[in-house]
């Protein structure tokens, strides 16, 4: 048991994970206490206890995945990609529907719901890292265009389109992360330009389908209204953004001090999607800026791990997974500061995002397993004569 709880891998990532996890407990308690009293019959500690339980599950998940040899994720991703697609289909058709979006699957008996797209993103990026790492061999024998289209572009497009039906922002996040990994893996530029064109074509087609058959894309009107009202003067349509602006502008330099937020009573997602606005309101702009630097530090550590990796698969997987986490964080911050339209993306390792915390921990655990593998790759191999 003691061996299991030995923390191996990149120490900076472990420290940042601990800092953000502990910070989320304090922040969620402050941001959610008001809404918890209203929604949970006076139980103002409800979201606090829930977050502590989720952090515990996330920590065990990260620790477990950090101890798996990262090379195993190659064959696991090949196996799981054929599991993920049926899961996404099942979610789109029979998943738990909330706000006209079937994003969640509920596990029988225990009743825990999770977004299948969070799991699909990790599996897809691992599968693409596996296939892209083998691309040079295909280029040497002249079959790169067929290999790229079938083994790299096709799975990325299929997974993205299955997510798109109910979650535009996550679909774009997954596609962008996959595209970034392809670019890092030196997929030919003309192929990437073609993929980008296909992606734009699919989005346009989805909008046409939504206009003619609204039942196929019930979230279409929500997407359009968010884009159309972005930066507009419609107070009702931009209610959450307006409250976030008030929170940020109330005392932007030093903040109102911990637990003194007033906008938590008006922001419906103060403890979730808009928790960054509460961070600025209570702790000030400097702490908010430090938070951004912490996420960028995670990306920097992934770059170090990727640079030192002796396998292309390990380098691509570390960068792809970390990019998706940091990019999601920047999207969340952009929404809270009104730089981007409302997307519904939680702030990784901070927001009360439920099982998204666990899947983020899983991704970090895989990155840590790559970091652990670096030392093993460099260990001398004894030859027994």
Looking at residue 103, its pLDDT comes to: 66
Pair 132, 185: CB distance under 8 Å: yes
The DSSP annotation for 142-198 comes to T-HHHHIIIIIIHHHHHHHHHHHTT-HHHHHHHHHHHHHHHHHTT--HHHHHHHHHH
**What CA–CA distances, in Å, run from 159 to 98, 205, 220, 240, 309?**
21, 16, 19, 30, 28
Long-range contact list for 324-328, CB < 8 A, 24+ apart?
Answer: 324/121, 324/125, 324/173, 324/174, 324/177, 324/363, 325/295, 325/298, 325/360, 325/363, 325/364, 326/295, 326/296, 326/298, 326/299, 327/173, 327/176, 327/177, 328/173
- Residue 281 has which token pair? 């309101």
Rounded Cα distance, 136 and 144, in Å: 8
pLDDT at residue number 365: 96
Residue 2 confidence (pLDDT):
63
Place of tokens 């910070």: 23
359 closest CA partner among 178, 67, 113, 36: 113
Per-residue pLDDT of the chain (385 residues; tens, 9 = 90+): 566 667 888 999 999 999 999 999 999 988 887 787 777 776 778 888 889 999 999 999 999 999 999 999 999 999 999 999 998 888 877 766 665 556 667 666 655 677 888 999 999 999 999 999 988 755 555 567 888 888 999 999 999 988 887 778 888 999 999 999 999 998 988 899 999 888 888 777 777 776 676 666 666 666 666 666 666 665 555 778 888 888 888 766 788 888 788 888 787 778 888 899 999 999 999 999 999 999 999 999 999 999 998 899 999 999 999 999 999 999 999 988 888 888 878 999 999 867 889 999 999 999 999 998 776 555 443 333 3
Strand order in the sheet with 113-115: 96-98, 101-106, 113-115
CB-count exposure of residue 146 (10 Å: 0-12, 13-18, 19+): exposed
Contact 59, 356 (CB under 8 A): no
What backbone torsions phi and psi does residue 186 show, to the nearest 5 degrees?
A: 65, 40
| Contacts for 124 with CB less than 8 Å, ≥ 6 apart | 81, 84, 155, 156, 159, 174, 178
Q: Would you tell me how many other CB atoms lie within 10 Å of the CB of residue 214?
A: 11
Could you tell me how many residues make up the chain?
A: 385
pLDDT digits (tens, 9 = 90+) for 219-240: 666 666 666 666 666 555 577 8
Please tell me the predicted confidence (pLDDT) of residue 235: 58
Q: pLDDT value at position 268?
A: 78
What's the CA gap between 240 and 205, in Å, rounded? 30
- DSSP letter at 105 equals E
């Amino acid at each position: 048991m003691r061996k299991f709880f030995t923390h191996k891998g990149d120490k900076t990532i472990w420290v940042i994970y601990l800092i953000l996890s502990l910070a989320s407990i304090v922040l969620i308690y402050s941001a959610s206490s008001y809404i918890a009293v209203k929604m949970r019959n006076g139980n103002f500690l409800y979201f606090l206890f829930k977050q502590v339980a989720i952090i515990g599950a996330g920590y065990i998940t990260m620790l477990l995945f950090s101890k798996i040899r990262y090379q195993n994720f190659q064959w696991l991703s090949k196996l799981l990609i054929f599991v993920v697609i049926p899961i996404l289909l099942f979610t789109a058709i029979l998943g738990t529907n909330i706000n006209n979006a079937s994003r969640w699957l509920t596990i029988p008996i225990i009743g825990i719901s999770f977004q299948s797209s969070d799991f699909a993103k990790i599996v897809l990026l691992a599968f693409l890292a596996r296939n892209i790492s083998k691309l040079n061999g295909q280029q040497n024998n002249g079959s790169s265009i067929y290999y790229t289209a079938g083994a790299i572009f096709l799975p990325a497009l299929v997974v993205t389109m299955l997510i798109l039906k109910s979650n535009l922002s996550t679909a774009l996040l997954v596609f962008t992360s996959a595209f970034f990994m392809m670019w890092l893996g030196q997929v030919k530029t003309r192929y990437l330009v073609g993929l980008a064109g296909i992606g734009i074509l699919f989005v346009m087609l989805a909008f046409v389908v939504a206009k003619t058959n609204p039942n196929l894309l019930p979230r279409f009107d929500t997407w359009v209204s968010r884009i159309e009202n972005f930066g507009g003067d419609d107070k009702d349509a931009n209610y959450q953004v307006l409250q976030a602006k008030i929170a940020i502008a109330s005392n932007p330099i030093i903040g109102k001090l911990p637990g003194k937020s007033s906008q938590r009573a008006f922001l419906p997602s103060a403890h979730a999607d808009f928790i960054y606005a509460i961070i600025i309101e209570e702790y000030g702009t400097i702490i908010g800026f430090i938070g951004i630097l912490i996420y960028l530090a995670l990306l920097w550590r992934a770059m170090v791990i990727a640079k030192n990796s002796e396998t292309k698969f390990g380098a691509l997987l570390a960068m792809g997974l970390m990019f998706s986490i940091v990019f999601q964080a920047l999207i969340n911050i952009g929404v809270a500061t009104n730089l981007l339209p409302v997307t519904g993306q939680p702030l990784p390792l901070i927001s009360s995002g439920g099982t998204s915390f666990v899947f983020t921990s899983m991704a970090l655990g895989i990155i840590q397993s790559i970091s652990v593998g670096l030392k093993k790759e460099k260990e001398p191999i004894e030859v027994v004569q």
